[in-house]
Amino acid sequence: MGIAQENAQSIITEKSIKRLDSTLKSFVDNRDVAGVSALIYEKGKEVYYNAFGYADLQKRKPMERNTLVQIYSMTKPITGTALMSLHEKGKFKLDDPLEKYAPEFANMQVYKGVDSTGKMILEPIKRPVTIRDITRHTGGFTTRNDIPRLSTALRLADPFNWENDLDQMAARLGRVPLWFQPEEKWEYGPSVDIQAFLVERISGQPYAEYLQEHVLGPLNMKETRYFVPKSDRKRMSATYSHDNLGFLDQQDDQKSHAYNYGKWKLTPGGWGLTSTLDDYMTFAQMLVNKGSLNGVKILEPETVELMATNHLDENIKDRSWLPSKGQMGFGIDFAVRLRPPVSTKENNGVVGEFFWDGAASTLFWVDPINKLTAVFFVQIFPFNGTLHKKFRDAVYGPVSMETTGN
């Protein structure tokens, strides 16, 4: 029986537990990471937890269940949940122009390159950026630093300075031309930061306050926050990279945690939150339970289904690095698996799963077919997709062309 079919049998068995333990331990033994932890639920029950290595290698402090990590872009689905709670209340429609609520983004210009003098060539926007565009990364916004003149304009506008509030961020970003016409390509960027601004603008509440009141608070996700108080910083994992010889290089805590150790005006929707395994699993369990958990309803089932449905037209061929995730479309702040793997080198997973990951190589996914949710924590730069491939193979077993129907 293929894993993409409704499966009465458990995915996590004694065999897969041994495979998971061996895989995670190998990440530490091979110096891929200093520490790793993973938590898996199946059909509402915890079926796997383990941690290996160190949260703080220099202090020999183990990676533990309550270790706090920077989740970076795994902030995005939480922001999308906050935004869609307003959609449920009829506060906006997905195909509404962004400028309807945010005049900061009216009359945008679109980049077409540079002329012989190095000046930007611009053209009028063909259609307004919609809210759907900013939930699926087709709005034309970018944070790339390698686009002639456009990247310079973005740097001078400085929208993401931590001293900017979301209003200031939007005003500054709205003055920078779009990189491409809406829906011309899929390009990761600041769209979810704009979503946080939109939540604030539509609700009339500061974004962090709205998030706490409508998502984090009701789910009792007390460890998921922007600011980490001094009393909890001993639980923060250090961040790591590799030096030229392949040895782990532990980053300076004050630098790598500067955002979370200060109280800044900017509350980004696309990054910035810290969390624990159990806190993020709470969020994942709410999603696999179609919007509710422990008697608390965050979203309607139809809304979760809408978020986990592909909104990316197949005609959009330019998708940056999204294809590296596998056979994916994109929903509302989630990648959505459309097809089984077509190669043993691809990430394993079930058609219909939705997921996202973070810059420090964290990962979570929701497998609604098997009612399975997984959260995987490491803190390594640059992003290491090989870890995700191996972790997924440990969960489901290595990709087999027989089980994918190929």
Query: Which residues lie below 8 Å from residue 40, measured CB to CB, with a gap of 6+?
Result: 12, 20, 46, 47, 48, 49, 372, 373, 374, 375, 395
pLDDT at 312: 97
Same domain, 193 and 131: yes
Q: What residues form DSSP beta bridges with 240?
A: 250, 380
From 3-7, 357-361, 391-395, the region with the lowest mean pLDDT = 3-7
At 402, the pLDDT band (50, 70, 90 cuts) reads low
pLDDT at 167: 98
At 8, the pLDDT band (50, 70, 90 cuts) reads low
At 400, the pLDDT band (50, 70, 90 cuts) reads confident
52, two tokens? 């290996």
Does residue 7 carry a pLDDT above 80? no
pLDDT at 4: 39
Same domain, 175 and 66: no
Q: What total of structural domains would you count in the chain?
A: 2
Domain boundary among 208, 241, 274: 208
Query: Which residues lie below 8 Å from residue 365, measured CB to CB, with a gap of 6+?
Result: 284, 349, 353, 354, 355, 373, 374
Is residue 401 a part of any domain in this protein? no
- Compute the average pLDDT of residues 226-243: 98
Q: Where are the alpha helices (DSSP H) in 41-149?
A: 76-88, 131-136
pLDDT at 293: 98
DSSP 354: E
pLDDT in tens, 76-116: 999 999 999 999 999 999 999 999 999 999 999 999 999 99
SS3 assignment for 127-151: CCCEHHHHHHCCCCCCCCCCCCCHH
- Compute the average pLDDT of residues 218-227: 98
Range of the domain at 105: 84-208
Same domain, 68 and 100: no
Give this prediction's pTM.
0.96
Does residue 362 carry a pLDDT above 70? yes
Domain boundary among 163, 185, 208: 208
Is residue 167 a part of any domain in this protein? yes
Is residue 103 a part of any domain in this protein? yes
pLDDT in tens, 116-140: 999 999 999 999 999 999 999 999 9
Q: What is the CATH number of the domain that holds 166?
A: 3.40.710.10
d(CA 11, CA 21) in angstroms, rounded, equals: 15
pLDDT at 112: 97
Is residue 366 a part of any domain in this protein? yes
Class of residue 247 by CB neighbours under 10 A (exposed 0-12, middle 13-18, buried 19+): exposed
User: What's the mean per-residue pLDDT of the chain?
Assistant: 96
